[in-house]
Amino acid sequence: MTSRLHVPAVPARPGEQPDFSYVKVAAAGDAPRPPINVPVLGTAPLAEDLVRVLDDRHRAVGPWAPKLDAETLRRGLHTMMLTRAFDDRMQRAQRQGRITFYMRSLGEEAVSAAAAIALRDGDMLFPSYRNQGLFLSRGLSLVDLMSQLLSNSHDMCKGRQLPVMYHSAERRIFSISGNLATQFPQAVGWAMAAAIKGETDIAAAWLGEGSTAEADFHHALTFAKVYKAPAVLNVVNNQWAISTFQGYAGGEQRSFAARGPGMGIAGLRVDGNDFLAVYAVTAWAAERARAGHGATLIEHVTYRAGAHSTSDDPARYRPKDEFDAWPLGDPVERLKSHLVTLGEWDDARHESLSKELDESVTGAWHEAVSYGTLNEGPRLDPSLMFEDVFKELPPHLLAQRDELLAELAERGESDHA
């Protein structure tokens, strides 16, 4: 016998039939809901299972069904629809050459929208680059977000960051990094600090399933276990990391949530396209953390319906119609149908909200563009690039700034807004 290298099998490549037979879809309402102080290993079955609340007839069923009023559900729907309208417009803006880069969250809007409602405003969020719903749910203005995308004179990052790398200290959302998984141990550290200081706020972080391969993911789980850090750690398993299928992150015949109990913290696996289920498991994990029972690793099973970013074409590495075959559906449609079933929503209202959101996105875009784009209109002062390297500008950077200003004056471009 000789050994043979195992290469994870990709279910379907371009030209092949989509195949999601590996996604075992449990019936809604089946998963038990343990008390929030259940010992870590008591969550092990739930880390392999799939918590689902919305059934095929759009009703909320089972022990995880949260008691949310219609107003809150409509708020969640609003955030998801706004996220989608915003993403759609910004994707087009990138195609038109107005912004350099964009990343949509199409198909996984519930992950951010439901969590933002389940957490408290004081809780600190450590997002990945595909959690725009957190910013929208916490009330950041479209104009502020768009201005960051445009690197314009109103840009919160002062022109220094690639588009989508937002932050908001006021709304307690940490600065997004372009490097992967770095936010995970940082969230645990924030939570440790909250515990050191005796506060009630907790931390929450998100990363993609591909990023769980990075060492920082494992550092986070180790520290969370050792210090029982009050944190909610989310793996957004959207099946694809650019061109590599989740099997390449170790997901083949294995749940990501199971790494929680494996490392000594609670683990839950949830239907990430079920708004109510995401809300319920996040609320459970937040309450557990706040009560001093430690962190939870939540795996959100969802699907990245769009490209990784505006820089790649998914038709090169997966079947074009894969999203149509995705067994967990579209999170927006599912919450909409639930509200309709409750008699709290209808097609006309949906249509009208959709139109209203498109208009507000378009209105915000016009305002944002009036603050400039990379190529037109008001621009940030280029000498800003030397600030915030350190708190105080050191002499060598002062000298470099002066050299740049002289160079720009020579170019006749020194009169930037």
Partner 1 sequence: MPNMNMVQALNSAMDIMLTRDPSVVVLGEDVGYFGGVFRVTESLQKKHGAHRVLDTPIAEGGIVGAAVGMCANGLRPIAEIQFADYIYPAYDQIVSEVARLRYRSAGAFSAPLTIRTPCGGGIRGGQTHSQSPEAVFAHVSGIKTVMPSNPYDAKGMLIAAIEDDDPVIFFEPKRVYNGPFDGEPDKPAQSWAEHPKAEVPEGYYTVPIGQAAVTREGSALTIVTYGTMVQVSLAAAEALGLDAEVIDIRSMVPLDIDTIAASVSKTGRCLIAHEATRFAGFGAELSASIQEHCFWNLEAPIMRVAGWDTPYPHAFEWEYFPGKRRVMNALRRLMGEAA
- Tell me the one-letter amino acid at 130: R
Candidates 10, 12, 38, 44: give the one binding partner 1 (CB under 8 A): 10
Q: According to the binding rule CB under 8 A, does residue 238 interact with partner 1?
A: no
Q: Scanning residues 260 to 299, which ones bind partner 1 (CB under 8 A)?
A: none
**Beta-carbon-side half-sphere exposure of residue 9 (alpha carbons within 13 Å):** 6
Q: Scanning residues 106 to 165, which ones bind partner 1 (CB under 8 A)?
A: 151, 155, 157-163, 165
Least spacing, CB of residue 363 vs partner 1, in Å: 24
Query: Which residues make beta-bridge pairs with 51?
Result: 270
Helix intervals (H) in 42-162 = 44-48, 70-95, 109-118, 132-137, 142-150
Least spacing, CB of residue 380 vs partner 1, in Å: 6
Binding range to partner 1, per CB under 8 A, among 16-24, 268-276, 333-341, 373-381: 373-381
Q: According to the binding rule CB under 8 A, does residue 396 interact with partner 1?
A: yes
Instruction: Tell me the CA distances in angstroms from 215 to 225, 231, 413, one per residue in order.
Output: 16, 18, 45
Q: According to the binding rule CB under 8 A, does residue 379 interact with partner 1?
A: yes
List of long-range contacts for 193-196, beta carbons under 8 Å, 24+ apart? 194/124, 194/230, 195/227, 195/228, 195/229, 195/230
Q: According to the binding rule CB under 8 A, does residue 100 interact with partner 1?
A: yes
Q: According to the binding rule CB under 8 A, does residue 23 interact with partner 1?
A: no
Query: How big is the CA angle at 346 (ends 82 and 322), to the nearest 5 degrees?
Result: 55
* 52 torsion bin: left (phi>0), alpha (psi -120 to 50), beta (else): beta
Distance, CA of 36 to CA of 54 (rounded, Å) = 22
Contacts of 181 (CB under 8 A, 6+ apart): 207, 211, 212, 214, 215, 216, 217, 220
Binding range to partner 1, per CB under 8 A, among 30-38, 221-229, 269-277, 309-317: 309-317
Binding range to partner 1, per CB under 8 A, among 73-81, 194-202, 357-365, 381-389: 381-389
Cβ contact 22:328 at 8 Å: no
Which residue in the block uniquely carries the two structure tokens 């006309």? Answer: 348
Binding range to partner 1, per CB under 8 A, among 79-87, 188-196, 239-247, 255-263: 239-247
One symbol per residue from 173 to 212: x for binding partner 1 (CB under 8 A), - otherwise; what is it? ----xxxx-----------------------------xx-
Which residue in the block uniquely carries the two structure tokens 């939540």? Answer: 298
Site size toward partner 1 (CB under 8 A) is 53
Helix intervals (H) in 198-243 = 215-227
Q: According to the binding rule CB under 8 A, does residue 312 interact with partner 1?
A: yes
Binding range to partner 1, per CB under 8 A, among 134-142, 222-230, 351-359, 392-400: 392-400
Candidates 59, 167, 397, 414: give the one binding partner 1 (CB under 8 A): 397
Least spacing, CB of residue 120 vs partner 1, in Å: 31
- Name the residues that contact partner 1, by CB under 8 A: 5, 7, 10, 13, 100-101, 151, 155, 157-163, 165, 177-180, 210-211, 213-216, 241-244, 248-250, 311-312, 316-317, 374, 379-380, 382, 384-386, 389, 396-397, 400, 404, 407-408, 410-411
